[in-house]
Amino acid sequence: MTSPQDTLAQLRKSYERAELDETRSDADPLRQFERWMSEALDAKVPEPNAMTLATVGPDLRPSTRIVLIKGYDARGIVWYTNYDSRKGRELAGNPYAALQFHWVELERVVRIEGRVSQVEPELSDAYFASRPLDSRIGAWASPQSQVIEGRDVLVKNAAKYAAKYLLAPPRPAHWGGLRLQPEQWEFWQGRRSRLHDRLRYRLEDGAWLRERLAP
């Protein structure tokens, strides 16, 4: 019987779907991101909006989790969360973070690094109001990242806040949007023979410098 470790060691994949070069990429990383996001949506890849968020705590240990992008523009990438969660606390102490999209079916990765801040309260209010009622109640019911005795705690909290707020729960003060303002982007396109395409964009004197990295 083959062990999982032996199987993992033998896994191979040849990346042959597309290419990325300086003549076909946009000089503006936001427009390049929009192009790739549009192609991921058109290709109906599973959860194209899912991104890994990496933060660093006061002990200098990194941690990652999956969050969902909810918007983007020239100001940055936006998602929503509980500010009292582990990621929220870590970002309050160290506001620098990294994001990563991995669109397996397209053999693409996008990495983004920058500084994170809370979005405007009115933007958080508007998005919170657009969420399904159960999700709005859930924002009150879950003490995210805290130790709880069991699932019953969540069920009881949900029932308590549903009875308290009925159909109109307000946005909790501990819940809202975060925005990462990019200082660096990287677009990775898988290629044959592990000679992948990597284009990095970094700010230099207020303008985006595009450069190729060795794979």
Residues annotated as catalytic (active site), given as ranges: 194
CA-CA distance, 207 to 202, in Å (whole number)?
8
| Selection from 67, 16, 14, 69 nearest residue 40 by Cα | 69
Question: Which tokens is 26 given?
Answer: 């946009």
- CA distance to 54, 62, 94, per residue, from 59 (Å): 14, 9, 11
Count Cβ atoms within 10 A of the Cβ of residue 65 and give its class: 0-12 exposed, 13-18 middle, 19 or more buried: middle
Rounded to 5 degrees, φ, ψ at 13 are -140, 135
